[in-house]
Structure 1
Amino acid sequence: MFWNGQTVMQAHEEIDEHTNEEIFPLDVSKISQTPTKLPDGMEWCVIDPEDEDAVSAVHRFLAENYVEDNEGNFRFRYSYGFIRWVFGQPGAEKEWLVGIKSGGAIVGFISGFPVRVSVREKEVCMAEVDFLCLDRSMRKKGIAPLLIREMGRRVNAKGCGQAVYTVGGRITRPFTAARYYHRQISIRKLLSVGFSVLPRGSTVEEYEKMNRICVDGAGVFRRTTKADVKTIKSLLDETKDRWEVRRVFSEEEIEYVFCSDGGVVSLVSEDKDTFISFYTVSTVAIKENTEILCGYIYYYAAKRKADLLGAVRSVLSLCQEMGVDVLNCLDGMENGVFIGELGFVPGDGMLHYYLFNWKLGYTPSEKVFLSLL
C-alpha cells in the first residue's frame, strides 16, 4: 500500500495523546530536482493561475470528475470564479498547481497552498493539499500516488516539510475526524433529488414548516470590507487559546479571504465582537441533472461562544436570500453551540484530517480550527 511507505502516522501505531513532533527532519539539499517519472504518453504540467484558458481547463476537469458520494448520485461542481479565487491566494506557489496531461488533455490534478498552522503552540509551515482528482479512465492505475509524490517533492523543494489534508475515508491514522451536518432550506427541491428523506408520518408541508428559517435572535451583521481586517485579526487572536490546532492568518490573507469579493462570504457584527464566513459550492444530482447550491460554514470567531447562535441565524437568513438550498457544517470547532438549536441534522459523511510528516496525538474535533475548501 502506498501510504505504508510515507512519513505519516500509520494506523497500527501506538501514539500518546501528548505527542506533537516532526516525523523526519527535512533536508532540502537531498530533495530530487527531477520530476516523478510518469507512464509513457503522460507529462506534467503547471497551471498558471493568470492563464484563463488553463484555469478553465482545470475547472471543466473538476466539474466532470471531482468528488462524488459513494452511490454516485451527487458530485461537487465548483464555479470557475471560485476556482480562480482559490488559485490566487496570497503566497500561492504556481508550481504547486500540478496537472498530468495525456494527449493534450488534463487527466489528473492536485493543488497545494502554503499555510501556517499552530499545532499545540508550535507554528508550522504546511501545504494545504486539496483537489486531488483523476479522470475516470485513470483510476486504479497507480496514478494518484504519483500525483501525491510529485506534490510532496515540490513542496519539500521549497523548504516546507509538512502538509495537511482531508479525506472522506480513513486511509492511515487521522489526528481528528468530524461528521457532516446539514441545515435544509429548500425542502421540496432536496426531497425531489433524494438529498433529503421525508420523515415517516410527515407531510411535505409539515416538514417545510419544521425547517422554516427563523431570524428571531439573529444578530445585527453586515458584509465585511477591507476596513475590517484588523477587527477580524483581533478576534482570531483573542480566541486562539480555544484551539489545539488552528490556522494562523496574516492580515494579507484575512483581506483576501474574508474582506474581498472572492469565493467566501463574510459577515461581522455591528459591535465587532463576532465574525463568521461561509462559501457556496454547487452539488449536481447526477441522475436528475439538477444543481443543489450548498453553503459551507468556514471560519469564524466570537468573543462569546453564545453569540455564534445569532451569527449562524444571520447566515441562514442570507443563504435563503441567496437561493442556497442547504447549509452544511461539521460537528467540530464550536459548531455544537448551534447545530441542535438551529435544526442541523446529521449526514452520512465523515471527514478525516491528516498530517504529512507530523505526529500528533488524537485531538477532539472541537479543538481543531481548520477548514479546508
Structure 2
Amino acid sequence: MPQKKDKGKAKADAPPKEITEKDLQKLASSIDKIAGKVQARQEKALAKGEAPKEKKVDPVKEAEMRKKVEQMLQALSTMEQTGAIKASGQKDMGSHQFWNTQPVPQYGENITEEGPIEPSVPRDQVRQEPYALPKEFEWCEVDITNEKEITELYQLLTLNYVEDDDAQFRFDYSAPFLKWALQPPGWKKSWHVGVRVSSNKKLVAFISGTPAAVRSHKTVHHLTEINYLCVHKKLRSKRLAPVLIKEVTRRSHLEGVFQAVYTAGTVLPKPVATCRYYHRSLNPKKLVECNFSRVPRGSTMAAMVKKFKVAEEFSTPGLREMKAEDAPQVKELANKYLSKFDVAPVFETDDDVCHWLLPTKDVVWSYVVEDPKTHKITDFFSFYTLPSSVIGNAKHSSLNAAYMFYYAVEVPEKEAADSYDNTRYTKQRLTELMRDALVAAKKVSEYSLTANFDVFNALSLMDNSMFIDDLKFGPGDGYLNYYLYNWRCREIKPHKVGLVML
C-alpha cells in the first residue's frame, strides 16, 4: 500500500455507443444467474471427485467474447458511477473513482505474472503526517482495551454497519467479539483508526487493520487484514471512507507492510475470488417470522421443522472441545490441510492457533477428534457467532447466526495415495463432522444466553461444496468478494479459497 499522491477526479470513459442502458441492466441481472449455474456445476463435479468439464471454444471467438464482456463491464461501472444504474449495496467509497487511484488490479487486466503493483519503500519515504479531515473532525486511536471505547465502537457498528439490500438485517458485533477480532498476536493500536467530532468527541467513523500471515498461491505475505470500515449514516456525504482507507494504509506503511487483504459484498476493482453464502436453518419458525426465509410452496411449517431437525448427540467417536494443549497438533493439521487452497492463512505459532481457535465464551467454538489409542488429533472444526439486528420486526429484535470457521481432516495414507479415494474419504468425513457441527451449535444454544443459534452459515469456499447439499444448506442471495491490495494475483475459484474473514 505505497503512498499515492492525491489526484483529481478521474473522468470515466464513455460507454461504447453500441451498448445501451437496457443491455447493461440485462447484464447486471444475468451475471449472478450465470455465475451460479457455472459454480453449481463445478461444485457438483468436485463433490463427486470429478474434474469440471471444460468446453472447447474457438480461440478467436473466445477472445472476441472476452473483449465484449470487458467492454460491457467497464460500461456498467461507468453507468453505476453516474447513477444511471444503482449498484446493489454500494458503499460510500466514491464508487470506482477512488479505487482507480489505488494499486489494485483493474477490470480487463489480464494477470499472467503475480507480484506487487507498486514497490515497498523505506519508512522515511512514507508520508509522516495523517491525511487531512474536514475541519469539524479529528483522528483518534480507538483503545480496544478500554471498556468505554469498545462500547463506543460497538454502538457505532451496531447502528451504522453492514445491512442487507432490503435493510432488514444488520450485523451486530458484540464487544467480546470485537476484542477477539481486533487483538490477534502482534496487534497494533495505531491500526484501530477512528474519527471523532472535534466539538463533542463523538466517535463517528472507524476502520481497522490487523496483522496476518496469508499465502496466495506460493507467496506468503505478512500483510494487513482490513475490516470494519464504518461511517455514521448521517455523515456519508462527507466522503470519509476514502480518507480512512488512505490513513490506515499510511499507518501500515509506517510498519513496513505494503500488502493487504479485505472483503466486501460490493464489486470493486478487482475481486480475486467471489464466494456465495449458504444457510442451514436451525430454527425455521423464527427465520420465517423474521422474513429471513419462507415456507416453500406446497409445504408447511411443521414439515420445515421436521426437515431441519438436528440430532441430539454427536456421532463421531473421540469428538470433544479443543484444549490449549491441542494447539501444536491443530496448527500442524490446519496448515497441512489449508496448503491445498490457493489463498489461505498460515498459522505460524501456537499462539496464533490459541487466539483464533481456542474456545472463547460466546465468540468461537472449536472441537477436535482425538484417537483414543494414540491421542493424536485427526480432525477439527470451528464456528463463531455473529448475530444480526432485525430491523423493524415487531416480534424479534435479533437473529443469532453461527458461521463456519476453519476445519481440517487428516486423510489416511491408503486413501491419500489416490485422488479419487482422497476426495471420497474427505467428502464422507467432512459430512460426518459438519453434521456434528450442527449438533454442537444446538448444544451450545442450550446453555448460552447469547448464542441461541437460529441459522448456521457457510460460504462456498474450501471443501464446503462436499457437504452443503447433504446437510440441507440452501443458497443465499449474498456474495462475498475477496481483494488483495497492491498485489496482482490470478483469479481463484471459490473451492480454492481457504481464507475466512470475520
TM range (shorter): over 0.9
Find the aligned partners of 2:145 and 2:489 in 1 and give their Cα distance: 37
Matched, 1:105 2:202: yes
Matched, 1:160 2:257: yes
Write out aligned runs for 1:284-323 (5 A).
284-288=389-393, 289-304=396-411, 305-306=426-427, 307-321=429-443, 322=445, 323=452
**1:216 Cα deviation from its structure 2 partner:** 8.2
Q: Residue 97 of structure 1 contacts residue 111 of structure 1 at CA under 8 Å; is this kept in 2?
A: yes
Post-superposition, which runs of at least 4 consecutive aligned residues in structure 1 deviate over 6 A? none
Q: Residue 20 of structure 1 contacts residue 119 of structure 1 at CA under 8 Å; is this kept in 2?
A: no
Deviations 1:292-328 (A, max 9, x none): 1000001111113232212211110121221210000
Q: 3-state SS of the aligned residue for 2:386?
A: strand
Amino acid at match of 1:303: E
Deviations 1:102-125 (A, max 9, x none): 131111001110001111121111
Instruction: Tell me the residue number matched to 1:254.
Output: 353
Q: Residue 314 of structure 2 contacts residue 439 of structure 2 at CA under 8 Å; is this kept in 1?
A: no
Q: 3-state SS of the aligned residue for 1:154?
A: helix
Write out aligned runs for 1:186-225 (5 A).
186-214=283-311, 218-220=315-317, 221-225=319-323
Q: Residue 157 of structure 2 contacts residue 172 of structure 2 at CA under 8 Å; is this kept in 1?
A: yes
Instruction: Tell me the residue number matched to 1:61.
Output: 156
Give aligned pairs, total.
371
1:22 corresponds, among 98, 112, 116, to: 116
Find the aligned partners of 1:71 and 1:355 in 2 and give their Cα distance: 28
- From the CA coordinates, give the structure whose radius of gyration is larger: 2
Q: Residue 226 of structure 2 contacts residue 262 of structure 2 at CA under 8 Å; is this kept in 1?
A: yes
Write out aligned runs for 1:349-368 (5 A).
349-368=478-497
Instruction: Tell me the residue number matched to 1:340.
Output: 469
Matched, 1:95 2:190: yes
Q: Residue 115 of structure 2 contacts residue 487 of structure 2 at CA under 8 Å; is this kept in 1?
A: yes
Q: 3-state SS of the aligned residue for 2:453?
A: coil
2:364 corresponds, among 244, 264, 268, to: 264
Find the aligned partners of 1:218 and 1:180 in 2 and give their Cα distance: 26
Q: Residue 272 of structure 2 contacts residue 491 of structure 2 at CA under 8 Å; is this kept in 1?
A: yes
Amino acid at match of 1:3: W
Find the aligned partners of 1:140 and 1:308 in 2 and give their Cα distance: 47
Matched, 1:116 2:213: yes
User: Normalising to structure 2: TM-score of the pair?
Assistant: 0.72
Find the aligned partners of 1:248 and 1:150 in 2 and give their Cα distance: 27
For structure 1, which runs of at least 5 residues remain unmatched after alignment?
none
Find the aligned partners of 1:72 and 1:53 in 2 and give their Cα distance: 28
**1:251 Cα deviation from its structure 2 partner:** 1.4
**1:258 Cα deviation from its structure 2 partner:** 1.1
Higher strand share: 1
Residues 216/264 of structure 1: CA separation in 2 closer, same or farther (3 Å cut): closer
**1:188 Cα deviation from its structure 2 partner:** 0.5
Identity %: 35
Matched, 1:226 2:324: yes
Amino acid at match of 1:286: I
Higher helix share: 2
Q: Residue 247 of structure 1 contacts residue 370 of structure 1 at CA under 8 Å; is this kept in 2?
A: yes
Find the aligned partners of 1:9 and 1:101 in 2 and give their Cα distance: 33
Matched, 1:33 2:138: no
**1:185 Cα deviation from its structure 2 partner:** 0.7
Q: Residue 99 of structure 1 contacts residue 110 of structure 1 at CA under 8 Å; is this kept in 2?
A: yes
